[in-house]
Amino acid sequence: MTAPLTTLRGLDLLAEIQRLKSDRNAIILAHYYQKPEIQDLADFVGDSLDLSRKAAETDAQVIAFCGVRFMAETAKILSPEKTVILPDMDAGCSLEDSCPPDQFKAFREAHPDHIALTYINCSAAVKALSDIIVTSSSAQQILDQIPLDQKIIFGPDRHLGGYLARKTGREMLLWPGVCIVHQAFSETELLKLKAEHPGAPVAAHPECPPHIIEHADHVGSTRSILEYALATPADTLLVATEPHIIHQMEKAAPGKTFIGVPGGDGNCNCNMCPYMALNTLEKLYVALRDLEPRIDLSTQVMDAARLPLERMLQMAGNSVGKGDVGKPRIDNVVEPEDIDPNISGD
């Protein structure tokens, strides 16, 4: 539900959001890819695993989730008694779009001896069809706990799955989804930046394709990249993930220079997530005012999806903030032959 713009005219949005937050007993959770003004008023800013934990443990009655829909759905699944609102219900994800539940179900049924290790960037219905959910910061730790002879389907991000397979030597059957944002990073532009800033390390998210990862000095989740940015002695860092995370880097290390790796020909905005950008302060105000749009999922789907999510939280242990550091080791990826490549989100 979107209020007419006239009702927002003249409002002190920041003050009104704080007032509504208090009136509603609400908590505002924001992902690192949100606009700076949203990150700055959030009660907590984090990556998917951090945010899942916060959603599971909060005492607030309302969770205003400034991220994308699968993240808000995760919050609802972990705290079903709470009201979870998302400023714009159209905030989806190309990885979620790449993995329709009926096709995922059919793929699982075609491989009954495999378990499904599924990236959190998927719909609640796909989570309900999965055995264990992972985030980029917890994936390797969880993978290491699965017996070596257990066959694994990894979806929906083929780049994260491929990175894990190369790094650990585990063979996995990969679903062919991609993040349209990380897929868009340009190797040519990255090499130009490296030439312009000799010695500047590159930090990349494992959703990036291998031709970007191979230039990275650090590979990890958003939280892990943030920690690396602060820890590296280098005064300039090239960042190959959604560039809104640079806001937190600049706040924490104002003396350093952080440069977002461009996508395409270097002039497009394709390294920015179009879904995350749908959330605005105006929409957050309206969502808190009306408690809409809200996440509404069937009890059946939530109950089925909660189990693999709770396995993730249990198996991830204390991995928050300790992302998968390092470079891939060997090439050991089984590309799926029997999935229609057209269902990929790119």
Regarding 180 and contact with ligand SF4 (CB under 6 A), the answer is yes
Backbone phi, psi, residue 308, to 5°: -65, -25
Region of 79-87, 145-153, 271-279, 320-328 interacting with ligand SF4 (CB under 6 A): 271-279
Shortest Å distance, C-beta 178 to ligand SF4:
8
Q: Which of 303, 283, 297 lies closest to 64, judged by CA? A: 283
For strands 202-204 and 236-240, give the pairing: parallel
Least distance in Å: CB of 93 to ligand SF4?
3
For residues 156 and 126, the answer to whether their CB atoms sit within 8 Å is: yes
**Token pair belonging to 155:** 């979806």
Whole-angstrom distance, CA of residue 5 vs CA of residue 13: 13
Taking CB under 6 A as the binding criterion, the range among 17-25, 91-99, 137-145, 164-172 that sits at the site for ligand SF4 is: 91-99
Q: Which is nearer to ligand SF4, 118 or 121 (CB)?
A: 121
Q: Which stretch binds ligand SF4 (CB under 6 A): 146-154, 174-182, 260-268, 311-319?
A: 174-182
179 touching ligand SF4, by CB under 6 A: yes
| Residue 273 sits in the site that holds ligand SF4 (CB under 6 A) | yes
Of 245, 276, 315, 339, which one interacts with ligand SF4 (CB under 6 A)? 276
Smallest separation, CB 95 to ligand SF4 (Å) = 5
Among residue numbers 117 through 156, which ones bind ligand SF4 (CB under 6 A)?
Answer: 121
Tell me, by CB under 6 A, how many residues bind ligand SF4. Answer: 14
- The encoded tokens of residue 286 equal 């309206």
**Structure token pair of residue 315:** 């198996």
**How many C-beta atoms surround the C-beta of residue 278 within 10 A?**
16
Cα torsion angle, 98, 102, 105, 110, sign? negative
CA 259 from chain center: how many Å?
20
> Per CB under 6 A, does 208 bind ligand SF4?
no
In the complex with ligand SF4, which residue's Cβ is closer, 271 or 289?
A: 271
Q: Does 94 bind ligand SF4 (CB under 6 A)?
A: yes
Tell which residue, 242, 206, 231, 208, has the closest CA to residue 221.
206
**Per-residue mark of binding to ligand SF4, 51-90 (x: CB under 6 A):** -----------------x----------------------
Establish if 93 lies at the interface with ligand SF4 (CB under 6 A).
Answer: yes
CA distances to 54, 61, 159, 316 from 50, in Å? 6, 19, 22, 11
C-alpha span between 334 and 273 (Å, rounded): 29
Shorter beta-carbon distance to ligand SF4: residue 94 or 137: 94
**CA dist list (Å): 198 to 186, 202, 238:** 18, 11, 11
246 binds ligand SF4 (CB under 6 A): no
Q: Report d(CA 16, CA 285) in Å as an integer.
A: 7
* One of 38, 95, 229, 238 touching ligand SF4 (CB under 6 A): 95
Name the residues that contact ligand SF4, by CB under 6 A: 33, 68, 93-95, 121, 179-181, 207, 242, 273, 275-276
